[in-house]
Amino acid sequence: MSDSPHLSRRSLFRRVVEGLAGLALWRQAQPVSAQSVAETGPLTARVTRPYDAETPVREFTSFLTPAHRLFVRSHFGPPPQEALTEQNWKLTVGGLVERPQSFALKALRELEPVTVTSVLQCSGNGRAFHRPKVPGVQWERGAVGNVRWTGARLRDVLEGAGLRGHARHVQFQGADRPVVSSVPLFIRSIPLAKALHPDTLLAYEMNGRPLPLLHGAPLRVVTPGWMAESCVKWLTDITVRSDEAEGYYMQTAYRMPVTAIHPQSGLPGTSMAPVEAIVVKSVIASPEEGARVGPGPVTIQGVAWSGESPIAGVEVSCDDGQTWDSARLVGEDLPYAWRQWQFVWRPSQSGEVTIHCRATDVEGQVQPRVSPWNPSGFMWNGWDHVTVTVGR
């Protein structure tokens, strides 16, 4: 494919350009100059320290999201570089295993490599659209991307260490640390079934190149089809446990009410479950909000995804959801990846028009007009829309 020798000149050039852009982003991501990324970078910054930034949706006209265009999110920012060098970094596997062990990156690269293309999406993507408003990073539509990950199977590492009988959850910790030591570490766990799934990876590459620092170099967890909070970056410790990880980031944060709740009712007695699978969702990448289009045919395009379930269809409405037309699903169709779609619209009148889209997956889940409200503003998947002006 892109590694074919016939393309080598062009792809080499592209790699150099992307590499430089990545390097610039990586350098600017150091706390001192995060501000300049906010002003000049290809992403829209939401928080500058640590650097949290989302992808402008016009980038979602391509199947893969390049590393330097992928949204960036972390609680404390990347660890110091020294912690991640070849000499200093290692992965430790312990807890309920027969043979606790540690790995250099080279040893992990010697295990059978697996490549999986999957959506990475922050649970807070779309938080800005919940009403009443919810505090937290005000992500709009771009805290998501589609990436080709390569790494070792987590299962191969766990089986190599030998699971003990009461192993039920697998806990992850990275090398990043809060500025103040009283703040809890970002520690997460996933149930054993997901950890042993052959598509769950310890990834060292994205889109065919080593992970950049901002995205978790040298190693991160990738749980295809699940929300990005399980995808722990700068991974250093795997601990097999009989129960879920303790601490704020597993027991308090990233949990959702199991039943719908009313914003005023509060939470007493509501049972809360960890966010896991991604829910069905689509966005319009083109035309952009506020664009002038037509008056001839207009190609509306975007992407749709639904965690562990394939997309069955995407529909478009130009009359506020009264009538819907089916879009055409195009491009690559891979499990866990997003699906591109297109619809050729022939506007019947000029002036302002709001275009909506909604996706359905093969399980029959349909993107709702508005997502259920929840106190952390997670998992927004309401119909997407852009308002355009038809005419000259």
Ligand X SMILES: Nc1nc2c(c(=O)[nH]1)N[C@H]1C(S)=C(S)[C@@H](COP(=O)(O)O)O[C@H]1N2
Judged by the rule CB under 6 A, the positions of this chain that interact with ligand X are 70-75, 120, 122, 174, 176, 186, 214-216, 228-229, 231-234
Q: Which is nearer to ligand X, 220 or 358 (CB)?
A: 220
Question: Which does residue 215 touch among Mo ion, ligand X, none (CB within 5 to 8 A, set by kind)?
Answer: ligand X
* Cβ nearer to ligand X, comparing 185 with 272: 185
Taking CB under 5 A as the criterion, which residues in 69-88 touch Mo ion?
73
Burial, 281: exposed, middle or buried (Cβ in 10 Å; 0-12, 13-18, 19+)? buried
Q: Which does 130 bind (CB under 5 to 8 A by kind): ligand X, Mo ion, none?
A: none
Rounded-to-integer distance, Cα 283 and Cα 1, Å: 27
Q: How far apart are CB 124 and Mo ion at their closest, in Å? A: 5
122 contacts Mo ion (rule: CB under 5 A): yes
Min dist CB 49 to Mo ion, Å, is 16
Which of Mo ion, ligand X, none does 65 bind, CB closer than 5 to 8 A by kind? none
Q: Does 379 bind Mo ion (CB under 5 A)?
A: no
169 contact, one of ligand X, Mo ion, none, CB 5-8 Å limit per kind: none
Residue (of 125, 116, 23, 28) closest to 73 by Cα position: 125
**Which partner, ligand X, Mo ion, none, binds residue 120 by CB below 5 to 8 Å per kind?**
ligand X
275 binds Mo ion (CB under 5 A): no
Task: State the minimum distance, in angstroms, from the CB of residue 142 to Mo ion.
Answer: 13
Residues near Mo ion (CB under 5 A) are 73, 122
